[in-house]
Chain A
Amino acid sequence: DAGITQSPRHKVTETGTPVTLRCHQTENHRYMYWYRQDPGHGLRLIHYSYGVKDTDKGEVSDGYSVSRSKTEDFLLTLESATSSQTSVYFCAIGLRSEETQYFGPGTRLLVL
């Protein structure tokens, strides 16, 4: 398995609080991604990174921000969590364009 870890694996928080999820890789892959998975929607791209400090928005980026200060770490921040952001969040990495991505184990987030 690709060396991808996500932390925390589970989190319960209250509406209005900031939340940061961390994705850490040991593979030195250039590309990193954050997806969310909700019933009936499959996975949807939130943000992605194509290098250190190079990030861009995905399909469902509203309410989320990201940062990548090192190759190995990609942080996803919910500035002020809402109940609609209750979801399972997956991080993925990729070495080259047009090749497969490797997924982390996911973080279950519940916003009360």
Chain B
Amino acid sequence: KQEVTQIPAALSVPEGENLVLNCSFTDSAIYNLQWFRQDPGKGLTSLLLIQSSQREQTSGRLNASLDKSSGRSTLYIAASQPGDSATYLCAVIQGGYNKLIFGAGTRLAVHP
């Protein structure tokens, strides 16, 4: 059974720091991996999607990498801002019908 783990569970950093969020998964047979953002009391917003054949994806200050063989992904946030404060969720797709398997998330707080 696929298990997705995110470390750390919570992170508090000062504004301007570069930071790395980690995601690991136990079964490397995945179709893709996605990173989502969730603001308190809100739904999820997709940030980056990495296909299994890709190594990384970039969007603005965000960069996500994927190493399928080791079962790891990292989300790099450059020059963090208070507006980046949210919970970041990692999810993999395995099997048909695009079913997502989520990690428990990393709660990020960026303070001025």
Measured CB to CB, the residues of A under 8 A from B are 31, 33, 35, 40-45, 48, 50, 56, 58-59, 90, 92, 94, 96-106
Contacts and interface: CB of A to CB of B under 8 A. Distances in A.
Interface residues of B, number: 26
B26 to A, nearest CB: 15
A97 B97 contact: yes
11 contacts: A42-B4, A42-B102, A42-B104, A43-B100, A58-B99, A92-B100, A99-B49, A100-B46, A101-B98, A103-B45, A104-B43
Contacts of A59: 101
Given A104-B43, A105-B42, A105-B43, A99 B98 contact: yes
A106 B43 contact: yes
Nearest to A90: B43
A41 B99 CA distance: 16
Contacts of B105: 42
Contacts of A92: 44, 100
Given A98-B32, A100-B34, A102-B46, A45 B100 contact: yes
Interface string B21-63: 0000000000110101000011111100101000000000000
